[in-house]
């Protein structure tokens, strides 16, 4: 085993020990180490790191992400090999977060209606996707969290989900509205009747009772979004499943503003509910949505006018 590969195992063990899943980063860094080994290079340099990071020609969006992975690894390796170069932060354009798409009620209803029309007519598939996408839309949980739910994590009597070891290894409880509980109860009954003794541990299941796979869920969503006009045939960009989560967060913040509530005070509550590791991640919504910026500006205007009236 090469020195770099051994260092990678130590680095990944350390990161995962801190609670980071680091699955995708692990695959990318393993590829980087293979790239270094193929060139018989034992010392990380900025030139080599940049050569590897920009290998997928035409996929500029991934370059910064790949170089960020190497930068973190290089900092670790520098403790072992002082000749290691840590690539500068601004050597590539910064990675920009995609602007969230805010679904309207009509668009969500159209997607769910299209899910109920998925073939075959007598299968569980249509009901699985109808309730899966519906749950993500009304709770704002991550798709991975919804897919990962086990039957024991869904307490419909108490109306609460237990999200276990999600992003960054955090767990949390998510309360459910009674109407959501009723919908999930209906799905559970239909699922158990369909599968009988073949029911597995997962709450949302594939046709034969196994776990849902992310790639297939996304393919179904792309199909539904084309059928409902959210995407055109052949589009590689457009509204995503993850935008259900964004829509939930933005609508919650908008409701708070319009109800005259103290948004700054309530942001930590939303951050905890969404499973963010830092309130800063929730603050991002305030600048990412024009409607929220407008509501914040109007509130500041009203406060300024009230203060001006008092002073005069």
Catalytic site includes residue 167: yes
CB 101 within 8 A of CB 167: no
Query: Do β-strands 172-175 and 160-163 pair in parallel, antiparallel, or remain unpaired?
Result: antiparallel
Q: Which of 242, 251, 266, 299 is catalytic?
A: 242
In this structure, what token pair is assigned to residue 106? 């009509």
Catalytic site includes residue 191: no
Q: Which of 167, 218, 251, 299 is catalytic?
A: 167
b/e burial code for range 196-235 (CB count within 10 A of at least 16 → b): eeeeeebbbbbeebeebeeeebeebbbebbbbbebbeeee
Catalytic site includes residue 276: yes
Catalytic site includes residue 20: no
Q: Which of 125, 126, 142, 191 is catalytic?
A: 142
Comparing CA positions, the residue from 63, 64, 60, 73 lying closest to residue 4 is 73
Catalytic site includes residue 47: no
Q: Which residues have CB under 8 Å from 66's CB, separation 6+?
A: 28, 32, 52, 53
CB 64 within 8 A of CB 93: yes
- The reply to whether omega before 184 is within 30° of 0 (cis) is no
Task: Determine whether 96 is exposed, middle or buried from the number of CB atoms within 10 Å of its CB (0-12, 13-18, 19+).
Answer: exposed
* Angle (nearest 5°) at CA 20 between 17 and 26: 95
Q: Give the number of other Cβ atoms within 10 Å of residue 89's Cβ.
A: 11
Catalytic site includes residue 242: yes
In this structure, what token pair is assigned to residue 258? 């319009």
Q: What's 277-310 look like in SS3?
A: CCHHHHHHHHHHCHHHHHHHHHHHHHHHHHHHHH
Q: Give the number of other Cβ atoms within 10 Å of residue 249's Cβ.
A: 25
Q: Which of 194, 245, 257, 273 is catalytic?
A: 245
**Active-site residue list:** 142, 167, 242, 245, 276, 285
């Amino acid at each position: 085993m090469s020195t770099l590969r051994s260092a990678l195992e130590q680095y990944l063990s350390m990161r995962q020990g801190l609670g980071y899943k680091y699955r995708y980063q692990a695959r990318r860094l393993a590829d980087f180490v293979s790239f270094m080994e193929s060139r018989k290079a034992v010392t990380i340099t900025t030139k080599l790191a940049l050569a590897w990071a920009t290998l997928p020609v035409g996929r500029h969006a991934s370059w910064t992400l790949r170089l960020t992975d190497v930068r973190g690894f290089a900092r670790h390796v520098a403790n072992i090999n002082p000749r290691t170069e840590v690539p500068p932060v601004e050597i590539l354009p910064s990675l920009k977060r995609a602007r969230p798409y805010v679904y309207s009620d009509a668009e969500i209803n159209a997607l769910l209606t299209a899910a109920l029309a998925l073939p075959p007519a007598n299968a569980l598939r249509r009901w699985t996707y109808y309730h899966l996408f519906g749950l993500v839309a009304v709770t704002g949980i991550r798709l991975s969290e919804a897919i990962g739910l086990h039957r024991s994590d869904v307490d419909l009597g108490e109306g609460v989900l237990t999200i276990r070891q999600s992003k960054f290894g955090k767990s949390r409880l998510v309360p459910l509205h009674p109407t959501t509980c009723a919908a999930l109860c209906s799905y559970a009954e239909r699922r158990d009747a369909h599968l009988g003794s073949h029911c597995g541990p997962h709450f949302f299941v594939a046709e034969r009772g196994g776990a849902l796979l992310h790639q297939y869920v996304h393919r179904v969503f792309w199909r539904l979004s084309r059928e409902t006009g959210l995407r055109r045939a052949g589009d590689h960009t457009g509204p995503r499943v993850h935008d259900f989560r964004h829509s939930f967060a933005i609508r919650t913040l908008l409701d708070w503003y319009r109800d005259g509530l103290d948004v700054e005070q309530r942001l930590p509550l939303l951050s905890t509910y969404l499973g963010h590791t830092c309130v800063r991640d929730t603050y991002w919504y305030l600048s990412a949505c024009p409607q929220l910026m407008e509501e914040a500006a109007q509130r500041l205007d009203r406060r300024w006018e009230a203060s001006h009236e008092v002073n005069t």
